Structure 1
Amino acid sequence: MTQDDDIALPDDIDEEEDEGAAVLKVEDVQDVLLYTLDWSVQSLLERIGNTFDINPAFQRRDAWNVYKKSRYIESLMLGLPVPQVVLAEDNKKKGSFIVLDGKQRLVTMKQFAAPSDLFPAFKLRNLEFLTQLNRLSFKQIQGSAEHADFVENLLAQPVRTIVVRNWRTPAVLYQIFVRLNQGSLSLSPQELRQALFPGEFNSWINARSAGSSPIHQARRIKSEDFRMRDAEMLLRGVAFNERVEEYQGDLRKFLDEMCSIGNSAWDARSEHYEELATQVELAIERTIDIFGHRDSFLRFSEDDYVRRFNIAVFDAMCLVLGSPEIDDASLRDNGPRIVDGYKNLCVNNDSFQSALKSTTKTAKATVDRVVLFGGVVEEVLGVKLGIIDRVKTLVATSGSGE
């Protein structure tokens, strides 16, 4: 996939989800084993939320509407073909599985046939064949002598499941789910990250981003995003503010490590992470204040902004404009000069252009974005930004940074 954030990508792909493929060798994947199981819906219902550890945060970001859920349940009741579920054995928790593909289908089964507070019930709608079951819940169908057979059919229906065993690193699972879903709406890296790194930090990232008006404004969405792009934005903001000095160009690994570190340190550092999230939101508000909502987090080209959210610009704005050395009143008064300086970088500085368009994920690109834009802010406001010295250490630690 191209790294040019401005190329028109299909609707199911977003630039912030293209975190770059980890370098894998043949030996990383050649020992991976696959085996198949045919579990009945009844057996799956007993496992969902138990040995199939589906993070409750997923349910808040439901990707399917009631009509799609209803058609899936109708297919199971009639024995029509349904897609397979793909799992990976959890290397850290014996007897448990990570859902690689089929999360929404499993959630739909649970919501309909075994609802709970975490899996809220729904009634069937807009069925194509079993129209007599429209507007009925599982309990209503189960309690009807006329329709009870459909419940038995549903619970007994086998669902083909493929299980991945002997995987070595999360990068292997990323590669598997990408290939499994080539050309369809697969899990985003952030969705898979919830399964690979469960814990309080990850749950907090989900909840905090779901309720963050500034993040939604920046991403131009009205509420929480079912693809978890808002969660990934907050994770990026926290990760770069927390440990930018350690970034070496592998974005996926960097974000994975932040999840692991955050989960381990949550009890001791939860208040600190809250402060970082507030800093990210402050940077967003400052960006919108001086650029305007319409032009914020966009790359400028020639004589106008490219009308596509640019995650590289977002990263730079969060690091620079979230700086505690900045005075809000001074920033507001000098906003037009900062905007002009940013436009000038976008048009006339080759390094800055490259850092926003092509080699966006390298350590050098991160340095260039922050140092060049931060330099504009320093000059205009007459302040010294600590973040610039922090990112400059990447040049020494990463060699060329490429």
Structure 2
Amino acid sequence: MTQSTDGRDATDAEDDEALPDELVDEANEDDKLRPEDLQGLVLYSLDWSVQSILERIGDTFDVNPSFQRRDAWSPSRKSSYIESVILGLPIPQIVLAEDPERKGRFIVLDGKQRLVTLKQFASPNEHFPSFKLRGLQFADGLEGMTFADMTSSLMARDYAENFLAQPIRTVVVRNWGQAAVLYEVFIRLNQNSLPLSPQELRQALFPTPFTFWINKKSAESVLIHQARRAKREDFRMRDAEMLLRFVAWKEGIATYRGNLRQFLDDACVRGDDNWKRRGPEHYEILGALCEQAIARTFMVFGDDAFLRFEKGSYNRRFNIAVFDLMSVVLSDDAVTDELIQTHAREIRGAYEDLCSNDEEFQSSITATTKSIDSVSGRFLTFAGRIEEILGVNLQLRAGVEQLANARS
């Protein structure tokens, strides 16, 4: 059983129905860090009491309550962690990064779920709902209790006081300089464990109304979950990344320069600016377009939607490059549901033909996103076939052609 640095079993929140990923598209190798990029990096350790940490959650430690819809731990796992803290048993350290833009604020690199669990248990509110201890191995006298129960019980009061006084070891990263350094730290923290999406860190780096909307909209979207064949929101935030990628391609495809991580970070910055200038209605429209494109893809491909076609059959793994392609092209203003319904068989046939007989297209949906040629090529090739089949001129073509010319 694989376990993450946050004490999370790979099977805890994994949806058995969800399609596994064929590609891990956002590799840290895109950032090409050099030794000198790490020269100013400083790490230091702090021990805070649980009481001190509780006072900092939501202020010093920015644990956004909107993340709670992606609660990854079961009540029994939360109870086990609380029991360990109460009894002073070994627990993993929390890793933080100082935020240079907001003095006194820390970005949580590793340990968010532990902080959430502490808050839910000892200082619950409407955003951090309380839970009762269950399945305890050693402190069975606390079984079924909340923290409020413990403090009001003569038998358990000492346990409550001991819990608040327990030290929590934290490691703090200072002078990290650029986001790429934090991504590298984040990835190394999770090597040999359950892979985590950089989207989780991105939400902490850019805590704005736009990223809050990305998180909330993707968590609530039945169609985005359906694209991955998932029953619920993804605790690794892959659904949030899917929506962010759609928005990024729609708004800035011509600006892509071969670094997907930076491209999506830039989309968050641009999204915050557009949110202020154009309001949330602009992004609600884009969210609706994404869902419409997903529905159209299922209209054409059924159970084979968002999969790669190879050797006469569909690979049963979710392909994020195919998702990008279908969602962006089929959401174009020139495309209608009626055209999709009328030409569904032709569209499916064209895609299968490209996957089978066009080597450049085949490579473009499996190759790294570092290649601008591959990215622009996949969009131009598929868009061209859609234009021929539907008899329309796609509006996205201008942006894609600008992207292709960026190599010149």
Alpha-carbon shift at residue 187 of structure 1 (Å): 4.4
Q: Is the 8 A contact 2:23 2:366 kept in 1?
A: no
Alpha-carbon shift at residue 262 of structure 1 (Å): 1.1
1:64 is paired with a residue whose SS is coil
Q: Distance in 2 between matches of 1:355 and 1:127?
A: 51
Q: Is the 8 A contact 2:372 2:404 kept in 1?
A: yes
Aligned twin of 1:25: 34
Q: In the TM superposition, what whole-angstrom CA distance separates every residue of 1:334-376 from its partner, at most 9, and x where no partner exists?
A: 1111101100100110110101112344221221111111111
Q: Distance in 2 between matches of 1:393 and 1:175?
A: 31
Q: Is the 8 A contact 1:122 1:137 kept in 2?
A: yes
Q: Distance in 2 between matches of 1:396 and 1:346?
A: 24
Alpha-carbon shift at residue 99 of structure 1 (Å): 0.5
Q: In the TM superposition, what whole-angstrom CA distance separates every residue of 1:152-203 from its partner, at most 9, and x where no partner exists?
A: 1211111111000011011100101111221123642111111101110000
Q: TM-score, normalised by structure 1?
A: 0.94
Aligned twin of 1:275: 285
Q: In the TM superposition, what whole-angstrom CA distance separates every residue of 1:197-238 from its partner, at most 9, and x where no partner exists?
A: 111000011111111111111111112111111111000001
Counterpart amino acid of residue 110 in structure 2: D
Q: Distance in 1 between matches of 2:407 and 2:50?
A: 51
Q: Distance in 1 between matches of 2:23 and 2:250?
A: 17
Q: In the TM superposition, what whole-angstrom CA distance separates every residue of 1:125-149 from its partner, at most 9, and x where no partner exists?
A: 1111112211110010111101111
1:227 is paired with a residue whose SS is coil
1:87 is paired with a residue whose SS is strand
Say which is worse superposed, 200-209 or 10-19, in terms of deviation. Answer: 10-19
2:350 to 341, 354, 370: 341
Q: Distance in 2 between matches of 1:361 and 1:57?
A: 32
Identity of aligned residues (%): 54
Aligned twin of 2:78: 69
Task: Write the mapping of 1:3-402 to structure 2, written as runs, cut at 5 A.
Answer: 14=21, 18-21=25-28, 22-185=31-194, 187-269=196-278, 270-292=280-302, 294-399=303-408
Distance 1:160 1:18, change over 3 A: farther
Counterpart amino acid of residue 376 in structure 1: R
Q: Is the 8 A contact 1:298 1:309 kept in 2?
A: yes
Alpha-carbon shift at residue 17 of structure 1 (Å): 5.3
Aligned length: 389
Q: Distance in 1 between matches of 2:197 and 2:294?
A: 23
Q: Is the 8 A contact 1:86 1:161 kept in 2?
A: yes
Can you give the 5+ residue segments of structure 1 that lack an aligned partner in the other structure?
A: 1-9
Q: Distance in 2 between matches of 1:14 and 1:128?
A: 36
Q: In the TM superposition, what whole-angstrom CA distance separates every residue of 1:243-277 from its partner, at most 9, and x where no partner exists?
A: 10101111110111111121133122222222111
- Give the aligned CA root-mean-square deviation in angstroms: 1.6
Say which is worse superposed, 228-237 or 23-32, in terms of deviation. Answer: 23-32
Q: Is the 8 A contact 1:55 1:194 kept in 2?
A: no
1:38 is paired with a residue whose SS is strand
Q: Distance in 1 between matches of 2:26 and 2:196?
A: 13
Q: Distance in 2 between matches of 1:84 and 1:113?
A: 19
Q: In the TM superposition, what whole-angstrom CA distance separates every residue of 1:72-126 from its partner, at most 9, and x where no partner exists?
A: 0000011000000000111001111110000000110010001111111100111
